[in-house]
Amino acid sequence: MMIARGIALMLALILYPLQCAPVARAAPPAAVPVPVEPKSQLSASAQRAYETARDKLLQVRTLLRDQDSQASVGSGFIVSSEGHVITNYHVVSQVALQPQRYRLTYTRADGATGVLQLLAIDALHDLALVRMVSAPDTAARALAVLAFRPQARALDTGERIYSLGNPLDIGFAVLEGNYNGLVSRSYYPQIFFAGALNPGMSGGPVLDGEGRVVGINVATRLDGQQVSFLVPSQFAEELLARGRNAPPVAGDWYPELTRQLLAHQALLVQRFISQPWRSAGQARYRIPVPQEEFMRCWGSSSRAETKGLEYQRSDCRMDSAVFVSGRLQTGRLTARHEVYDGTKLGSLRFARVYSASFRNEFFGGGASTTAPHCKESLVDREGLPLRAVVCLSAYRKLKGLYNLSVLVATVDADIQGVQGRLDAHGIDFDNALRLTDHYLQGYAWNGSH
């Protein structure tokens, strides 16, 4: 990390996928009787939503292949009389990536159980299409389905909607909340749901007052109250249309994930590069700061009473990433910089601290990617000398995709300077070159110097 003085004031947006794996829990406290509300106080709309959906809901369970121990649980809902079911990709990701170790089953609200086959995925919107494998005595029985709300009929802000699923593996439930439009500055459309979603509800449907699907539970904010997120139903409809007649895939889904991620990064990089850099407002240097069309930038600085190095910092990042597995999310960009003033340190101490900050950066590598391969050089930007390091790490199972890091420091002054960094996760080699050049071109002198 760069030099850190004081406490960064950046608010971090944390999205938590709602998949729930069994965990050991302490014994619950003794139950305390709770007065039962009069029947008239219950929400008639929520009751109708639950009764509409009850026989179309599933609990989706990932089990170890050779035993009945569950590795994770989520929710899903029936969308065709042939037994097609929509859920989240992250609910079934273990089966998608390690089919030799895991299998999918379902449990219905009436206790009926069965096997699920994975037919199609849309990792970019965190959706999956699975199909119920019927027992011989039920194969000819038509299944009731949940219908989608017509896309032409938009919801109004504040309209009541109803989320269904199996929270925390304790039983099917309905949660009432409000529609608040689409999340601002989200790269892919997501619905802002004012309601309390819980782990285990991932993949469950969200209904309007007439019992039609408007969204799919996907994530919640860990640092907020009643702030949750839904995938708009149109993407589930499109996935059903694409995968309805697809055969189950033999083997893992890495090739399909790679295909989707390559398409994602091509559009992401093109959209990012087409936007001009914003001004950082710094008198000496022009510093590349992203637009906030699909990123958010937060600023912080050293305290006023700081006696040593002073700095001003900006952090810009996309709010969301593409879920691949419980250990890997990718497909996003971040950019940050710090402007340093070492007047109170003097040139010698400033040079020592400034250089140490540059050397202390971490460039990744691990189970999902190779060790980073880095190259350092001096770059002349129209007379502004820059020290630059460019690093690439290759994904081990997503062939042709890389993580890119570009670290830059100005080296023109004795007691001041700028350090900046651009990170791109899940891009191809050509786009790594394009982003590197685009970022370096963003540095220059700003006015007189």
Average pLDDT over residues 185-200: 94
DSSP secondary structure code for residue 294 in this structure: S
CATH number for the domain including 340?
Answer: 3.40.1000
**C-alpha span between 185 and 164 (Å, rounded):** 27
**291 and 177 share a domain?**
no
**Burial (Cβ within 10 Å: 0-12, 13-18, ≥19) of residue 279:** exposed
Strand partners, 93: none
**pLDDT band, residue 448 (cuts 50/70/90):** low
**247 and 278 share a domain?**
no
If one counts the domains in the chain, the total is 2
In the prediction, which pLDDT does 202 show? 96
Q: Does residue 39 carry a pLDDT above 70?
A: no
Average pLDDT over residues 316-322: 95
**pLDDT band, residue 18 (cuts 50/70/90):** low
Average pLDDT over residues 382-395: 96
DSSP secondary structure code for residue 369 in this structure: B
Name the token pair of 84. 């097609």
Q: Are 395 and 426 in contact (CB under 8 A)?
A: yes
pLDDT digit string, tens, across residues 334-378: 999 999 999 999 999 999 999 998 988 999 878 999 999 999 999
- Residue finishing a domain among 234, 251, 268: 251
Work out the mean pLDDT of the chain and round it to a whole number.
89
What b-and-e string marks burial along 194-221, b requiring 16 or more CB atoms within 10 Å of the CB? Answer: bbbbbbbbbbbbbbbeebbbbbbbbbbe
In the prediction, which pLDDT does 20 show? 44
Average pLDDT over residues 393-402: 97
pLDDT digit string, tens, across residues 55-75: 999 999 999 999 888 999 999
- Residue finishing a domain among 203, 224, 251: 251
**224 and 309 share a domain?**
no
Which of 66-75, 157-166, 259-268, 321-330 is predicted with the least confidence, judged by mean pLDDT? Answer: 66-75
78's CB contacts (< 8 A; 6+ apart) are 56, 57, 58, 84, 85, 132, 143, 144, 145, 146
**297 and 169 share a domain?**
no
Q: Does residue 224 carry a pLDDT above 80?
A: no
What pTM was computed for the model?
A: 0.88
Amino acid at 174: V
**C-alpha span between 274 and 264 (Å, rounded):** 16
**C-alpha span between 355 and 375 (Å, rounded):** 17
**53 and 196 share a domain?**
yes
**146 and 271 share a domain?**
no
**394 and 301 share a domain?**
yes
Name the token pair of 243. 């995968």
**230 and 298 share a domain?**
no
In the prediction, which pLDDT does 28 show? 40
**278 and 219 share a domain?**
no
**pLDDT band, residue 4 (cuts 50/70/90):** very low
**pLDDT band, residue 435 (cuts 50/70/90):** very high
Q: Which domain holds residue 207?
A: 16-21+43-251
